[in-house]
Amino acid sequence: MLVLGIESSCDETGAAVVRDGRYLLSNVVASQIEIHNRYGGVVPEVASRQQIAAIIPVVETALAQASCSWDDLDAISATYGPGLAGSLLVGLTVGKTLALARNKPFLGVNHLEAHLYANWLRDEPAPAEDAVEAALREQPGDPLFPLICLVISGAHSEIVLVREHGDYQLLGRTRDDAAGEALDKVSRVLGLGYPGGPAIQRMAQQAEDAYVEQKKSVKKARNVYRLPRAWLRGTYDFSFSGVKTAMLHLAEGATDATRTHEEGKPSTQYTRYTRMGEQAAQAGAPDVALLASGFQEAIVDVLAVKTRMAAQEYQVKQVILAGGVAANLSLRARMRQELQPLGIRLSYPSIDFCTDNAAMIASAAFFHLSLGERHGMELDVQPGLSLPFRK
Amino acid sequence: MREERDVDLSVQDGSCSLEVVSQRASQTQRIGMALGGLLQAGDLILLDGQLGAGKTTFTQGLAKGMHVTDVVNSPTFTLLKEYMGSQSRDQKESAGAPLALYHFDLYRLDDPDEIVDLGFEDYFYGSGVCVVEWAGNADELWPADRLYIRLSTVDETKRRLLFVATGQRYCELLQQLQKNMYAITRS
């Protein structure tokens, strides 16, 4: 089954053609990261204006790259939530219109669910065309149910138990900031720019390389900062606002020693972390790379350990990562370390499919379409959509 | 030795202000909860203060006071999250409808025109309660009557909350909040 997927939930405009939910024929993304870089994040009105201009050429390019005509397509799909209303509207309207005009079945896709299905996409070429029944069966390389999925992005940090296609149980979620959001905010505070995840990973890598070169322990060095970790024991919930605030105070202490705090004390003296930052500054230039490394470690530590604990408790065969932060190399390595001794499989999408893309939309659509699901033209955008959790 | 006053209300030409020192995050939530219980449709609450000052923590308490059962977390990425408060017993008796909570976050917006473009203004005069984090990013946009709350970091856990109410509705609200708050700040 050949499915066209369209994605426009946030700052990307994408279209892709995917066979049987797994094999990529084309994947086109018009990124607006450079525009949004100026704002330190996505600005909705700017995003949707860009998407209107980009969407038709993106769809045409996806079909051309797949060497596929409208007649070859079996169905059309588009994201209908969650995301920014104006942005969603662009992709959904184009998807529905094309389906109506070309007389193809249409399916609206939940963007979060699609991030999970990025784990079904693979780089190898498509085999000879399968019957739908065969494609629906588990194939070598598919994730194995039951599985634990860690959904981590700018807006989400959730641990989800997935027993079967479409059967989701929420085990834990963030109580304040999402992991990606904390990375973005801290990156801005450290002057590293947007998007924060890759910027912090790059700086952390610099620190780690430098310490390896000097044959010193980076772990020991960054432990000077003793960043807090919110374990929230007895739950699978996360909290990243504490470590975010600690980082802010560290940076403030290190860079802002001259300003006087309202309490009459120097601004760098009002919390443990501002004092730590000041000491670091006095000992020499504050080491931004080392700070980035310590912060990334604090986030990865909690994500990896809690996900491993959930995998053990629910005795799953596999853990999958989904969402933009799944691209983080430090998280991938740490997850592998946690799971390998237990014999639990780990998979994550290739970097291109961690961030928003249309291939994952076509993949998720395939599994729903194969079960006979369709959406009518009345389907509307749902900006606040979540995964369809069982009650 | 002067007794340390944690709650201090002052009234000055049409606006009232109140300063509270919260000892820890759970107390900040309880103060938010006390305010949440007093809110009605159309109320506008503006929050300001640097990263980590407790804006989301305060809003979590406020939501609890409005009987919102969903988890309230940071709306920075999505700019707006909507919640529905469930009906309290009082509301059932008076047959009132449950209140909606619109939780905004303008952290990433610098230009007030963007907010106008987004159609957010419709919410500010709508039928729910609006709570706006990083309200300072759109200062000229707000109506004269509102409750403004500035949070600042005193030390690791201590936060100072400065409430400034303008207009009759919000001055009365603040006076009621002050009465309800003594119990909280004494604990």
pLDDT tens per residue across span A32-62: 555 555 555 555 666 777 888 889 999 999 9
Region A92-98: what's the mean pLDDT?
Answer: 98
Region A314-336: what's the mean pLDDT?
Answer: 97
The CATH number given to A2-123+352-370 is: 3.30.420.40
Cβ contact B56–A174 (<8 Å): no
DSSP β-bridge partners for residue B85: B68
CA-nearest residue to A246 within chain B is B52
How distant is the Cα of B179 from the closest Cα of chain A, in angstroms? 27
Cβ contact B155–A177 (<8 Å): no
Check the annotation: does A151 bind a ligand.
yes
| Structural contact between residues B77 and A183, judged by C-beta atoms closer than 8 angstroms | no
How distant is the Cα of B168 from the closest Cα of chain A, in angstroms? 31
User: Which residues of chain A does B118 touch, with a Cβ-Cβ cutoff of 8 Å?
Assistant: 44-45, 86
Region A157-171: what's the mean pLDDT?
Answer: 96
**Cα distances (angstroms) measured from residue B46 to each of A195, B102, B141, B149:** 28, 12, 11, 6
Chain A residues 324-353 with CB within 8 Å of chain B: none
Domains and CATH numbers, chain B: 7-185 (3.40.50.300)
pTM recorded for the entire structure: 0.85
The backbone region for B24, taken as left when phi is positive above 0, alpha when psi lies in -120 to 50, beta otherwise, is: beta
Handedness of CA A98, A104, A110, A112 (dihedral sign): negative
pLDDT tens per residue across span B96-139: 568 899 999 888 776 777 777 666 777 777 789 999 999 988 88
Residue B74 has a pLDDT of 83
Residue B139 has a pLDDT of 83
SS3 A333: helix
Fold match, A2-123+352-370 / A147-347: yes
Cβ contact A244–B51 (<8 Å): yes
Cβ contact B51–A173 (<8 Å): no
Quote the mean pLDDT of chain B: 84
User: Which of A43, A174, A177 lies closest to B114 in CB terms?
Assistant: A43
Region A173-188: what's the mean pLDDT?
Answer: 94
Residue A206 has a pLDDT of 92
What is the percent of chain B with per-residue pLDDT over 90, rounded to a whole number? 48
CA distance A231 to B99: 33
Interface confidence (ipTM) of the complex: 0.76
pLDDT confidence band for A365 (50 / 70 / 90)? very high
User: Which of A174, A180, A248 lies closest to B51 in CB terms?
Assistant: A248
User: Which residues of chain B does A383 touch, with a Cβ-Cβ cutoff of 8 Å?
Assistant: 78
Q: Which of A256, A254, A298 shows the shortest CA–CA distance to A280?
A: A254
Hey, which bits of B13-119 come out as E strands? 15-22, 44-48, 80-84, 100-105
The answer to whether the peptide bond before residue A125 is cis (omega within 30 degrees of 0) is no
pLDDT exceeds 80 at position B13: no
Q: Which of A237, A169, A201, A194 shows the shortest CA–CA distance to A390?
A: A169
| Structural contact between residues B147 and B170, judged by C-beta atoms closer than 8 angstroms | yes
CA distance B72 to B50: 19
Instruction: Quote the tokens at residue A220.
Output: 């020991």
User: Which residues of chain B does A155 touch, with a Cβ-Cβ cutoff of 8 Å?
Assistant: 77-78
Domain ranges of chain A: 2-123+352-370, 147-347
User: Which of A82, A174, A272 lies closest to B156 in CB terms?
Assistant: A272
Check the annotation: does A115 bind a ligand.
yes
pLDDT confidence band for B6 (50 / 70 / 90)? low
Residue A180 at interface with chain B, using a CB cutoff of 8 Å? yes
Residue A37 has a pLDDT of 56
Q: Which CATH superfamily is domain A147-347 in?
A: ATPase, nucleotide binding domain (3.30.420.40)
Which H helix or E strand runs over A122? none
